[in-house]
A = this chain, B = another copy of it.
Amino acid sequence: MTTLSPTPRTTVRRGRNRAVADRDALHALLADGLVAHLGVVVGDHPVVLPTAYAVDLDGPDDGGTLYVHGSVAARWLGAATGTTVCVTVTELDGLVLARSGFHHSMNYRSAVVVGQARLVTDDAERVRALDAIVDHLAPGRSATLRPASRKELAATAVLAVPLREASMKARAGGPVDEPGDVAAGGWAGHVPVRRVLDPAVTADDAAGPVPAHVRRPRQVPLPVG
C-alpha cells in the first residue's frame, strides 16, 4: 500500500478524517468512475466539463497518467494545453440524513488530481490512450474495433495529466449526530445510492449477440470505510 504524495495544492485541508492516503484506493476509484470533471481556466474564469477518461498506471508521467480527449477544435482543449488543470472523479454512494441540517452529508468517494496538461503528440501514445478510453467503458472492446483512420486521429486531441499530485476523500456510513439531538429522538439514517448498468441495447442497424466484454458488471466494492 503506497501512500499518496500530497502537495500543498492537493492536501486536504478540511475534513482531514476523510482523506485517504492510499494510492490503491485512488486507483480503485479511478477504475470505478466513468465520468471525470475537468477544470480548466478559459479566459478569466474556470470552466468545468464532464468528460470520459482513462488511466494508464504505467504511463509516462510521474505516478501514472490520466488521459482525456476532445475535438482539436474545442476551445477548452487549447486553453488547457500546457496549463495546470484539475481532474476530479466522484462517485456518489449515499445520502446522509442527520437529525440536524448541519450534520447532513453525502457518502462518496472523490479523487482530485492537479497537474500540468500535456498535449500528447506521440502517435503510439495517442492511439494507446484512445484505446484505453474505449476500454474504460467496455474493457477489451478496443481490440475488436478497426484502427482509427488518419482523419479521425487528426480530429482528436489527447491530453495527459500526471497522477502524482492527487488527493482522495471518502465518506461512508450513517450520520454522526449531536448527543442532544440523538436524545431528542427522531429518525436519522442514510440512503445508499448505486449506479446501475442495465442490459445493453443493440443498435437498430446492428444485430446481436451482445459481446461478452459489454456485459461485465461495473460496480466495484467500496474500498474504504
A42 to chain B, nearest CB (A): 7
Chain B residues lying within 8 Å of A1, measured Cβ to Cβ, are none
Instruction: Please determine whether A42 and B9 come into contact, CB atoms closer than 8 angstroms.
Output: yes
Query: Could you tell me the distance in whole angstroms from the C-beta of A14 to the nearest C-beta in chain B?
Result: 5
Interface residue total, chain A, C-beta cutoff 8 A:
95
Contact of A197 among B152, B174, B191 (CB under 8 A): B191
Neighbour of A205 across the interface among B14, B35, B182, CB < 8 A:
B182
Kindly list chain B residues whose C-beta atoms are within 8 Å of the C-beta of A99: 145-146, 206
Interface residues of A in 132-159 (CB under 8 A from B): 133-134, 137-138, 141-142, 144-146, 148-149, 152, 155-156
Which chain A residues in 106-163 approach chain B with CB under 8 Å?
Answer: 106, 108, 110, 112, 114, 130-131, 133-134, 137-138, 141-142, 144-146, 148-149, 152, 155-156
- B148, A100: Cβ atoms under 8 Å? yes
Q: Is the CB of A88 within 8 A of B48?
A: yes
CB distance from A134 to the nearest CB of B (A): 5
- CB-contact partner of A48 in B37, B177, B211, under 8 A: B37
Q: Is the CB of B208 within 8 A of A106?
A: no
Number of identical protomers: 2
B-chain residues with CB within 8 Å of residue A50 when the two chains form the complex: 37, 88, 90, 108, 110
Closest 3 A/B residue pairs (Cβ):
A45-B84, A39-B46, A39-B48
- A91 CB to nearest chain B CB (Å): 9
Which of chain B's residues have a CB closer than 8 A to the CB of A202?
A: 187-189
From residue 25 to 56 of chain A, which have CB atoms closer than 8 A to chain B?
34-35, 37-50, 52
Which B residue sits closest to A80, measured CB to CB?
A: B46
Interface string of A197-225 (1 = CB under 8 A from B): 11111111111111100100000000000
Sample 30 A-B pairs with CB under 8 A, ordered by A number. A9-B45, A37-B48, A40-B46, A41-B41, A41-B46, A46-B85, A46-B86, A47-B114, A49-B88, A50-B108, A95-B137, A97-B214, A99-B146, A100-B146, A100-B152, A101-B131, A101-B152, A104-B134, A104-B137, A138-B191, A145-B186, A174-B204, A177-B205, A185-B207, A186-B206, A187-B202, A189-B201, A189-B206, A193-B196, A194-B198
